[in-house]
Chain A
Amino acid sequence: MSAHIRTDYAQSDQLFASRASVIAYAALGVLLVAAPFLIESYYLSQLVFVLIYAIVGVAMNILSGQAGQVSIGHAAFLAIGAYSAAIAQKYGVPLPVYLVLAGAFTGLIGYLVGLPALRLHGIYLAIATLAFAFIVEEVLARWESVTHGNEGLMLAAPNVFGMKLGTNGFYYLCLGVTVVVMLAAINIIRSPTGRAFLAIRDSETAARSMGIDTARYKTSAFAISAAITGVAGVLYAHKLSFISPEMFSLAVSIDFVMIIIIGGVLSLRGAVFGAIFMIMVDPMLIVVKDKLPQITDAAMHGIGLGEPIIASIQAGVLRVVNAPGLKSLIFGLIIILFIIYEPMGLDGRWQRVKAYCKQFPLARQRSARPQRMFLKSERR
């Protein structure tokens, strides 16, 4: 067991609660910096996707987790960021400049999308954002003079003031952006702005009575979230080096919502966990696809089943692992299981594992079980 004794209010300002967490994050930092030399290029590429998804996860966390506003249209913000990058690059704008400009522009669009949020709640807001995403997708497909419609746009290799970024360089760029976005998000959450978001999420009436301008903070939550997603969009466009409207469909928006549901709605760590999960499910499924028939085959031979039975079961196994849409099925299942058994997401699980280790011999399962609450006042 350990306790943090604080003797000064300024200590609450520290980024790391304890020496142990400084060491842990330093170790993580070293690992991430060394990653290009440690893992093969396929996994490095997946890691870049994880970083990009983590940035979007942070954006979703600020909007949905902190401010409590639903959006199932974030793919549109990603698209706006990506297309801004592609178009700016064509005009010879340097990358650091359009990284910031694309973020700002997407933030402005986010602000405009936030305006209807002042009148809409819950499911209605979700539908409004969904409609926005469809509109953006449609505009990108039809506005051929700028976006080349469904033919899409090619991007040249990322170029920072005349220096071409290779695979490793681009990885470091993504890592740097992720760290900056993460720090910004931490600062927002622990500031008056973050507390205003929290107040709006938990009780809008009380927030107003505390002098919080709910309209201003709702739109700024949208603007901040959109700006971050726009920045992620720039990186996404460069990662794929080709963008077209169908890459920003509803499925992508739903992926983004899943990041925070799986990771945990309330914490930034959850956004990272969710991103890792979403990106790594694919390679995992491929491994399972490759290995499962061999394993079942070996197992059935092991228990000595007859050859014809094995053959028929094996055919069934192959049909299942090769079935189209298996991934969506598994995703759907995972979401349902998470909502039922772990509403706080992977981060909730992580907190419990940590608590268990801290209290090690004394930990009891019952103390980890969420408390039932009957006092929650019913609203809405």
Chain B
Amino acid sequence: MTYFDVKDLTIKFGGLTAVDNVSFDINEGEVFTIIGPNGAGKTTLFNLISRLYTPNAGHIVFRDEDVTQLSAQQIAGRGIARTFQNIELFESASTLQNLLVGRHRHSTTKTWQDILRVRKVRDEEIAHRRAAEEVMDVLRLQRYRDTPIGSLPYGVRKVIEVARALCVGPSLLLLDEPSSGLNVEETDAMAEWILEINRRLKVTVLMVEHDMSLVSRVSDRVLALNYGRKMALGTSEEVQSHPDVVAAYLGA
């Protein structure tokens, strides 16, 4: 079975080919990291996978299903959740409400049932709440439960984004620069959590990251991109010592 496979993916914005013929595959249960200089096409690749962008060519296969033509909301329904580089939380809502939005794909009630608040809605609400509390337990967010996002510091918001993505109940979690804007301790905690999410919750992780110490600490395999093209693919050490990667980062 193919777990996750990207084949010849290409997207062009006008004359710029942001992602150029990129192919790679992810095995179930690994932490796969994409690195590359600014403008290499990492976030674009993410937006392609979470279907915010539509590729000009190529295919994305998830669990033997071609998901290239699904919509963004269907992707979440298949069990692919993501975070955003610049934090896209629902700022006027509380942490708990944000996590409950993450549970959306698990609710089966119709709008009219919501309006009447039938028994089923109430039961599901309690189930959602329990699931959200479990995620808060893992990431130690209980103390921020009822605080509106707007009054929380950046580091906490970053963790809440991960928590919200976990509430989707993903099989594959996409993390877009989980450590950007975090200090050393927070980055350290984030690394622990990524490992915990991967090992304990059995979630496959695909992430974009710049912090190489975090990358080598958590990643099973690393893909290096430059100018939208694949430069190197292998373990963290292999990629870091690859001559093209060294050239791209330090200049030839």
Contact = CB atoms under 8 A, between A and B. Distances in A.
Interface residues of A, number: 37
Contacts of B75: 209, 211
B168 A198 contact: no
B101 A210 contact: yes
Contacts of B81: 209-210
B242 interface: no
Contacts of A109: none
A81 B71 CA distance: 36
Interface in A344-380: 371, 373, 375-377
B247 to A, nearest CB: 34
What does DSSP make chain B's interface, helix, strand, loop or mixed?
Answer: helix
B238 interface: no
Contacts of A208: 52, 71-73, 76
B78 to A, nearest CB: 9
Nearest to A208: B72
A104 B87 CA distance: 39
A66 to B, nearest CB: 10
A296 interface: no
Contacts, number: 125
Nearest to A378: B86
Residue of A188, A192, A202, A375 with highest tally of chain B CB at under 10 A:
A192
B63 interface: no
A214 B89 contact: no
Interface stretch (B3-11, B91-99, B217-225): B91-99
B107 interface: yes
B92 A207 contact: no
Given A199-B90, A206-B89, A209-B72, A191 B121 contact: yes
Interface residues of B, number: 48
Interface in A190-221: 190-196, 198-199, 201-203, 205-214, 220
B52 A205 contact: yes
A377 B111 contact: no
Interface string B27-48: 0000000000000000000000
Given A9-B129, A187-B116, A198-B92, A210 B52 contact: no
Given A184-B116, A193-B114, 12 more contacts: A9-B129, A10-B122, A13-B122, A13-B125, A184-B115, A188-B114, A203-B89, A207-B101, A210-B102, A210-B164, A211-B168, A377-B88
10 contacts: A12-B125, A13-B125, A195-B100, A198-B90, A202-B90, A208-B73, A209-B82, A212-B104, A214-B73, A377-B87
Interface of B: 50, 52, 71-77, 81-82, 84, 86-93, 97, 100-105, 107, 109, 111, 114-117, 121-122, 124-126, 128-130, 150-151, 154, 157, 164, 168
6 closest residue pairs by CB, A with B: A211-B76, A191-B114, A202-B90, A206-B88, A211-B105, A208-B72
